[in-house]
A and B are shown apart, each in its own frame.
Chain A
Amino acid sequence: MIALLILPLLVPFALPALARRALDRLAPVAALWTVTASAVALALCSLAALGAFVLTGLLKLPFFASLGELIRPLHTASDRFVLPLAALSVGGLAVTAWTLVRSVSRQVRAFRAARSAAAHGPAAGDLCVVDSPRPDAYALPGRPHRIVVTTAMLRNLDGSEREALFAHERAHNAGGHHYFLAAAELAAHCHPALRRVRDVVRLAVERVADEVAARVVGDRRLTARAIARAALAGQGAGAPERPAFVPGAVSGPVPRRVEALLAPGGRRAGGWIAALLVACTGVSCVASATGMADFHHRVEVAQGEAER
């Protein structure tokens, strides 16, 4: 049981490398979906495993054993192994819960501030213009969806580049990219290895939006130029004050995005990468489900409700 439940804690370490390759080889939309779904599944599995360890440790204590109506001791690996593991798991879960709560409250606050700032500024259609000397552009989800662009950014781009930038931001809103970013953000707080996966998801949403923008304006070169110029304009402008799940125009490694726009096609077969990702997720899910079922059975045995 312990060995089975340790597996979901180890699998996430394989995910960042796989996720990066998936983004290189799959179509951006496919990569975005598979990587985000795997990250969320692996995060849930590792939380479940930690939870099972904590419960095992608790049921070893006489007080909780009587509370759980155990009539015999829970049959597990040696206490010398189980108890420290349970203590570590308690620590892990506490840290996770703390960072999750802190991150969610911080994001919600930043999001409210961004929405109210956008509501006060002049708007036309879905565009909110913020009069600011710092070039910035981002998609602000909500009802209705908005795209927020600073005056400095508008002045740095010509007419057709502005259209490409707007198409990019609209693609973020239309594609619901904030959900992917929020999911990746939450997963990153559940397991340290998933932090690097969050960066891959961030790049993936930008790539998806870049491709949509290129299709809308009908010019890959123009889209690449708009992104590059927007990025150069935004350079050294300081960290933008907006929530992490709000997709911006110049997030992610811009040179890679520009390169991908200028040299399309030549996508190598990515089927096996997708298969590996699915396999990893499957292994993790099956291991944690089996481990939990086994744990449940052991508890029932200790309660005298089931035969060994």
Chain B
Amino acid sequence: MADGKDERRPAGELEASVMAALWAAGVPQTPGEVQRSLGTELARTTVTTILTRLHDKGVVDRHRQGRGYAYVPVQDAQGLTARRMHSELDRDGDRETVLARFVAQLSPDDERVLRTLLEADEQSGGR
């Protein structure tokens, strides 16, 4: 049922269409839902591939829903930066060393913010 013309469009345009569908929906979307709300005829596998790519880039978040994932766009600039840092971490095999180096290179101000955050977490979580 997929239309060959739409499948051959540039990857950037397909990503834009999928991203627009996610934002327009406003609630988490499965690849099937995204496929139905698109104005173009794309195979569901293509939509899934694009969503995975967007997730790797850190512009969408996903969580398990049934046998697959449901996707939501990352809302704010801060969340976006955080997502990007996570995907950089995931890309490196030695996560622990990367984190250790990252913390070692923090500025005093950043360190203070981090400490405050951790303390607040300990008090509220009790762990």
Interface residues of A, Cβ cutoff 8 Å to B:
120-127, 129, 131, 147, 149, 151, 154-155, 157-164, 166, 170, 217
Q: What 7 additional pairs, Cβ within 8 angstroms, besides A129-B20, A147-B16, A163-B17? A: A124-B15, A124-B18, A125-B11, A125-B16, A131-B76, A159-B21, A166-B20
User: Contact at B59–A122, with CB atoms within 8 Å?
Assistant: yes
The 4 closest A-B pairs by CB, nearest first: A125-B12, A160-B39, A159-B39, A124-B19
- Within 8 Å CB of B74, what residues of A? 122
- Please measure, in the bound complex, the distance between the C-alpha atom of A147 and the C-alpha atom of B24, giving whole angstroms: 16
C-beta contact mask, B108-126 vs A, less than 8 Å → 1, else 0?
0000000000000000000
Total number of A-B contacts with CB less than 8 angstroms? Answer: 78
**Residue with the greatest number of chain B CB neighbours at <10 A, chosen from A122, A131, A154, A155:** A122
Count of interface residues, chain B, beta-carbon cutoff 8 Å? 28
User: Contact at A159–B13, with CB atoms within 8 Å?
Assistant: no
Output the nearest chain B residue to A163 by Cβ-Cβ distance: B39
- Within 8 Å CB of B40, what residues of A? 159-160, 163
**A62 → chain B closest CB, angstroms:** 65
- Please measure, in the bound complex, the distance between the C-alpha atom of A163 and the C-alpha atom of B6, giving whole angstroms: 11
User: Contact at B20–A149, with CB atoms within 8 Å?
Assistant: yes
Output the nearest chain A residue to B58 by Cβ-Cβ distance: A122
User: Contact at B59–A123, with CB atoms within 8 Å?
Assistant: yes
User: Contact at B19–A162, with CB atoms within 8 Å?
Assistant: no
- Please measure, in the bound complex, the distance between the C-alpha atom of A126 and the C-alpha atom of B20, giving whole angstroms: 11
- Please measure, in the bound complex, the distance between the C-alpha atom of A126 and the C-alpha atom of B74, giving whole angstroms: 17
| CB-contact partner of B20 in A121, A131, A162, under 8 A | A162
Chain B residues numbered 34-81 whose CB sits less than 8 Å from any CB in chain A: 37-40, 54, 57, 59, 73-77, 80
**A30 → chain B closest CB, angstroms:** 28
| CB-contact partner of A122 in B21, B37, B38, B73, under 8 A | B73
